[in-house]
Structure 1
C-alpha cells in the first residue's frame, strides 16, 4: 500500500503572496507561448500516471471509491483529456479570421485572438476530487492562464496527492495549491482574480458569485440540481432499470448529474422495480455492503443528512434501506413516493436514493418536472424515440442523455455545464480551453486606406457623405415586412414548390453528368 502524503492547511500569512506570485508570473508572459503550455500539460499527464496508485489509494480512503471507478472517472478521464487537449491546442490557439459583412471590411484584416484570461482560482469538489479539480486546471493551462487550485477539504487525501503532483511536475511560479477549508477559501476570495471556477453546491456558489461581483470577476459555476428522469410505458423496463440503477450506485450516488427522482408511468412501474431487484443482485451477488465495488458516503455529516431524508419520507421502500453509520454505508434504496414534496425529492439527495413517482402519462410527467423552479443539470428519458424527443423539446437542462443515466457528462469532447440554478458556463474538451480564454477582436486600419475613410470625417452637413456611406456599407434585406423571405430562390420555391425545384436540380445534374461522359 503506497504511503499517502499528509494534508496540511496552508498558512493564512502566505495566501496573499502566493496569489501575487501567480499573477506576476502571468504578467511576465511566461505562459503565453503554446509550447510552454504543451510542456506543462505533458508533465501533468506523467504526474497523474506516475502517481496513479496514490490517487487510487487516496480516493479509497476518502470515499471508499472502487479502483475501477477511480480509473474510469478520475485518473483515466483526466489523462485522456490531456492527450485530447495537446492534439488540438495549436489549432484552437490560432488567430481566427472574422466573417465579413461587406467586402470593404477585408481592408481592416479583422481577426479574433485567443487571449488567456489571466490568473485564475479553481475550487474543486469532494465527490470526484481529481476530475473536478484537475479537469478545470487542464483548461486553464491550455488557455495560457496561471492558476491556484483549492481542492476540497472533504477529500483530504486526494487533495494532498494533487498538491504533490502539481508541486513536483508543474512550474511552481505558475501553478500552485492552497489547502484548507472555509477560512482559507475566504482568504482566497479576498484576492483579485481574472476568473473563478467553482464546482460544488448552489448555496456556496451563491456566496462565491456575490463575492466575485464586488470586483466584477467572471465566474464559472458547476453546480448540482434536482435532475429528473422519465420512464414511459413504451420504455424497455430492463434497460431503464439497469441504467438508472447504475447512475445511482456509481460513487454511491454522489454524482451531481445523476437523477434526483424518476417520473415513471404507472403501467411499467412494477416491471421496472422487479428489473432493479434483478440488476442489484447481478451487480452485487453478496450484497453492496460486502462488495469492494461499492463506494461509501464521504463523511458522517453527509451520511446523517441522507439518513434524515430517508427517515422522513412518506413513500414506500421497495428495495434496500440498510445503513451502517460506522462504515458510512447506505445501500442503494428504491422508494415509491406519492408527491413532489416528499423529503427524497424536495432537495438534491446526492446519494444512492432512488425515489420513483408514478404518473399517468408523459404529459403529466413533463408538467411536473417543469413546475420545479430549479433548472436541472441533466435530464434523462427512456421510451420511444418520439417520446424521448418530446422530453428534450419540452424541458430545460444543462445537458441530457436518452436511454441512459448522465452519459453525456462522461464524454470529454462535449461541453458540460449547467444553466440557471444548476450553473453558469461549461467546460470539457475545447470548452475547457474556451472557458479560460478571452476572444479578443482585433482590426488594423492600413495607412493607404485614408482616402476611403475620409468620408467619416466632418463636416457632414451639406454633404452627401451619409448616402455615400450607405452605398458602401448598408446591406439589403432578403425579407419583406411580413417577415417572409424574398429573392429569386424564395420566389421559385413559392411558385413551383420545393419538390419541383428539387426535381429540376436533380435533372440538371444528371444532364451535366451525361454531357461530361459523352465528351470523355
Structure 2
C-alpha cells in the first residue's frame, strides 16, 4: 500500500456543521445511546474497522510523521484495539448502579445509590498531531461506552491520518450518533459556538485556554489534556546506564514529539560525566549508522515545528555534547544532548516537543526539586531516578499529572492519565475513560413506612428541634485542640456497638419512640 491509497483530507463545509451537531444532539434526546448493547456493538464495529485499516494507518503515519511501523502499531492501532477489548469486557460491570458508600444506617432505608448517566452530546477536539489516532479516538471510546453522542474533530496538522480516521469512523459508527468534522481554525470556532455537554481537548496550553474560555458562557465542563515542561531528576543514587537508555528512548519515540517525554534533566553533578557517556553508548547501540539513516526514527511534523526547535538550540547558551545534526529539507533533528549552566536557559523553560535532552548539573536533590518547582510546578509527568528513599522524597515535595519512577514516558494504558494545574485537568484511559463521560447521579427512594421518622421535619416545629438534633447530630471524636479522643465504653453504648452508622439507627429509633 502506498500514498495513492490514502484519501485526501477535505474540510467540512462550515454551513454543514450546525446541522451535524443538531443531528447528534437530537439523537441523544431520543435515548438511542442509552442501551448498553447498542454501545458495545458500536465499539465492536469500530474495533474491526481499525483492524481492517491497520495498513492505511501505518502508511498515513509514515506520510505525516515518518513514524516507524513499530511505533505506529504499539502506540496507535494496537493501543486502540486493546482499549476497545478492555472496555467491552468491563462495560456491563461499570454501568451498574453502585451502593452509595459511608451512609448512616438511618438513610440506608432510602436505598441510596449512584447511577452512571451519560452526559449528553460531547465534542472531541484534538490539535495534537503526534498520536493522531490514539489521542483523537481514545477519548471517543470512553464517550461511546458511557452512552453519549460525539462530534469528533481530528488535527488538521496530520492530514493523512485525519483522512484515514474519517474513513474508519464513517465505515463503522452510526452517523446519527457519531460524526467527524474536518478543518482548521474556522471549523473549530464554528464547533465551539455550539452548546455542548462536555468538551474534551488534547493539545497545547495556549489553545486550551481558548477552549476553556469558549466553553464558559454555556458552563460546559471541559477536559484539558495539555503538555508540560516535564523534569527528570537524577539523584546521586541513580544508575547512569539505566538513566541514559530509558530517557534516550523517551526522546526517540516520535522524535521526541510526545507530551509525556522529559523536557530536561536535573543531574547530580557527580553523575553528569557518567550519564553523558552512557547517552553516547546508548545512541550508538540504538542507531549504529546514525538516526538519519535509520528506518526507526521519525521526523518533525512540519517546517514551523522544525524552526521552533532549532531556535531553542540557537538561543541556548549550553554546550552540545551529543548529536546536533539537522536537515530542514528532511525535517530531521538528531537526538541532541546539551549541557546548560542556568535554569533560565531556553532549553529548560520552553517545552521542546522534540528530541532535545538538556542537562543541568545540580548540587543535590533539594536543589533539583527547587529548580523543577520554579520552572513549572505542575508538569504532566515527573521522572525521578534513584533509590526508593530519594524518589519518595522527590514525590513528597512535587506535584505532577503522573510519575514514572526510574523510567521515562512509560504509562500503563489502563491507568488514569491527565494533568494537574498548568498541564490540564481531568483524566481518562481505562475505567477513567468511562467515568469522565458520565454524571454520577445520586438516587434515593423513600418508602411509605418511613413516614413515622420523616414526620419530624414537617411544621409546626414547636418542640421538635431538640428531638431532631438528638436524632441527627454526630458526636465529634476530637477535642478543641484538634486532637483525636477516645470515648470508650460510652461511645460503644451510644452507637449500639457499631460506630456511626448504627448510631444513626439508634438515634432514629429514639426519635421515633419520642413521637
TM value normalised by structure 1: 0.92
How far apart are 1:453 and its partner, in Å?
1.0
Measured against aligned partners, the alpha-carbon deviations of 1:84-136 in whole angstroms (never above 9, x if no partner) come to: 11111111111111135322202211111100010000012211001100100
Q: 2:106: which partner in 1?
A: 104
Question: Residue 354 of structure 2 is aligned with which of 351, 358, 372?
Answer: 351
Query: Is 2:389 aligned against 1:386?
Result: yes
Q: 2:422: which partner in 1?
A: 421
Checking the alignment, whether the CA contact within 8 Å between 1:100 and 1:106 is kept in structure 2 is no
Unaligned runs of 5+ in 2: 491-515
Give the whole-Å Cα distance in 1 for the aligned partners of 2:87 and 2:382: 28
Q: 1:511: which partner in 2?
A: none
Give the whole-Å Cα distance in 1 for the aligned partners of 2:245 and 2:58: 26
Q: Residue 108 of structure 1: SS of its match in structure 2?
A: coil
Question: Residue 172 of structure 1 is aligned with which of 169, 172, 175?
Answer: 175
Checking the alignment, whether the CA contact within 8 Å between 1:321 and 1:333 is kept in structure 2 is yes
Q: 1:442: which partner in 2?
A: 443
Q: Residue 242 of structure 2: SS of its match in structure 1?
A: helix
Q: 1:451: which partner in 2?
A: 452
Q: Residue 387 of structure 1: SS of its match in structure 2?
A: helix
Q: 1:129: which partner in 2?
A: 132
Measured against aligned partners, the alpha-carbon deviations of 1:332-376 in whole angstroms (never above 9, x if no partner) come to: 000000112111112100000000000011111011111124510
Query: Is 2:400 aligned against 1:397?
Result: yes
Q: Residue 250 of structure 1: SS of its match in structure 2?
A: helix
Measured against aligned partners, the alpha-carbon deviations of 1:230-285 in whole angstroms (never above 9, x if no partner) come to: 11122100000000110001100000011111000111101111111010011111
Query: Is 2:478 aligned against 1:479?
Result: yes
Checking the alignment, whether the CA contact within 8 Å between 1:226 and 1:374 is kept in structure 2 is no
Measured against aligned partners, the alpha-carbon deviations of 1:309-349 in whole angstroms (never above 9, x if no partner) come to: 11111000000000011110000000000112111112100
Give the whole-Å Cα distance in 2 for the aligned partners of 1:208 and 1:103: 44
Give the whole-Å Cα distance in 2 for the aligned partners of 1:213 and 1:402: 37
Q: Residue 357 of structure 1: SS of its match in structure 2?
A: strand
Q: 2:122: which partner in 1?
A: 120
Give the whole-Å Cα distance in 2 for the aligned partners of 1:101 and 1:254: 47
Checking the alignment, whether the CA contact within 8 Å between 2:202 and 2:225 is kept in structure 1 is yes
> Once structures 1 and 2 are overlaid, which stretch shifts more, 476-485 or 53-62?
476-485
Give the whole-Å Cα distance in 2 for the aligned partners of 1:406 and 1:196: 26
Q: 2:85: which partner in 1?
A: 83
Q: Residue 101 of structure 2: SS of its match in structure 1?
A: coil
Number of residue pairs aligned between Structure 1 and Structure 2:
487
How far apart are 1:479 and its partner, in Å?
2.5
Q: Residue 289 of structure 1: SS of its match in structure 2?
A: coil
Matches within 5 A, 1:287-298: 287-298=290-301
Give the whole-Å Cα distance in 2 for the aligned partners of 1:418 and 1:139: 18
Give the whole-Å Cα distance in 2 for the aligned partners of 1:364 and 1:96: 46
Query: Is 2:239 aligned against 1:240?
Result: no
Question: Residue 260 of structure 2 is aligned with which of 257, 261, 266?
Answer: 257
Q: Residue 214 of structure 1: SS of its match in structure 2?
A: helix
Give the whole-Å Cα distance in 1 for the aligned partners of 2:292 and 2:377: 34
Unaligned runs of 5+ in 1: 492-520
Give the whole-Å Cα distance in 2 for the aligned partners of 1:356 and 1:473: 60
Give the whole-Å Cα distance in 1 for the aligned partners of 2:385 and 2:108: 51
Checking the alignment, whether the CA contact within 8 Å between 1:416 and 1:428 is kept in structure 2 is yes
Q: Residue 6 of structure 1: SS of its match in structure 2?
A: coil
